């Protein structure tokens, strides 16, 4: 039983990037916590990050048959990428969308999420713990 945790563009810079908005925690710390939380929930967690839209599309395709679900913070591609939305629809895997910041409190161009149209649900505004909440929500969804 495995869950894939995918992070998109600029999230490799967490810790130093705009800490007032995104906090001080690094992606390495988030990924370590996801692996631990996954284990506690009975899932093996694999974490990947890319700044490239096509790479994320490829990883979503490859996830079919290999992972039970995906936790995804697509970064700015959330607001632009019909390709990522279509990839998720194509593989029919449950996706939990995560954002560190509350995207609805920010600029209007961040209010639209293409991913929300195909994800089971979305957690935003709670910072790094959102990833762990998403894992818990997916484990519950998968058990239902």
Q: The tokens of 139 are what? A: 């484990």
Supply the DSSP string of 35-89, one letter for each residue: HHHHHHHT-EEEEEE-S-HHHHHHHHHHHTTT-SEEEEE-GGGGGT-HHHHHHHH
Minimal CA–CA distance to 22: which of 7, 32, 36, 39? 7
Ligand-binding site membership of 110 (annotated): yes
Task: Based on the residue annotation, tell me whether 99 is a catalytic residue of this protein.
Answer: yes
The β-bridge relationship of strands 2-7 and 44-49 is parallel
Q: How many residues bind ligand DQA (CB under 6 A)?
A: 10
Task: Print the binding letters for residues 15-54 with ligand DQA: x by CB under 6 A, - otherwise.
Answer: ----------------------------------------
Instruction: Tell me the backbone φ, ψ of residue 67, rounded to 5 degrees.
Output: -120, 150
Handedness of CA 18, 38, 88, 108 (dihedral sign): negative
Q: Does position 73 bind ligand DQA by CB under 6 A?
A: yes
Q: Identify whether 77 is a catalytic site residue.
A: no
Q: Is 135 annotated among the ligand-binding residues? A: no
Smallest separation (angstroms) from ligand DQA to the CB of 106 = 7
From the list 31-39, 57-65, 98-106, 131-139, the region that binds ligand DQA by CB under 6 A is 98-106
- Catalog residues that contact ligand DQA under the rule CB under 6 A: 10, 73, 75-76, 78, 99-101, 103, 110
Catalytic residues: 22, 99
| Feature table: binding site for substrate | 73, 79, 86, 100-101, 110
């Amino acid at each position: 039983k495995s869950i894939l945790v995918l992070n998109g563009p600029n999230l490799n810079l967490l810790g130093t990037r705009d800490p007032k908005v995104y906090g001080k925690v690094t992606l390495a710390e988030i990924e370590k916590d996801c692996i631990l939380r996954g284990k506690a929930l009975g899932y093996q967690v694999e974490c990947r990050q890319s700044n490239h839209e096509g790479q994320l599309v490829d990883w979503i395709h490859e996830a079919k048959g290999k992972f039970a679900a995906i936790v995804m913070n697509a970064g700015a591609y959330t607001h632009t990428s019909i390709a990522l939305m279509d990839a998720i629809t194509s593989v029919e895997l449950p996706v939990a969308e995560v954002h560190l910041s509350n995207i609805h409190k920010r600029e209007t161009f961040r209010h639209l999420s293409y991913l929300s149209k195909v994800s089971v649900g979305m957690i935003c505004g709670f910072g790094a713990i959102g990833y762990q909440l998403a894992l818990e929500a997916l484990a519950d969804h998968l058990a239902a």
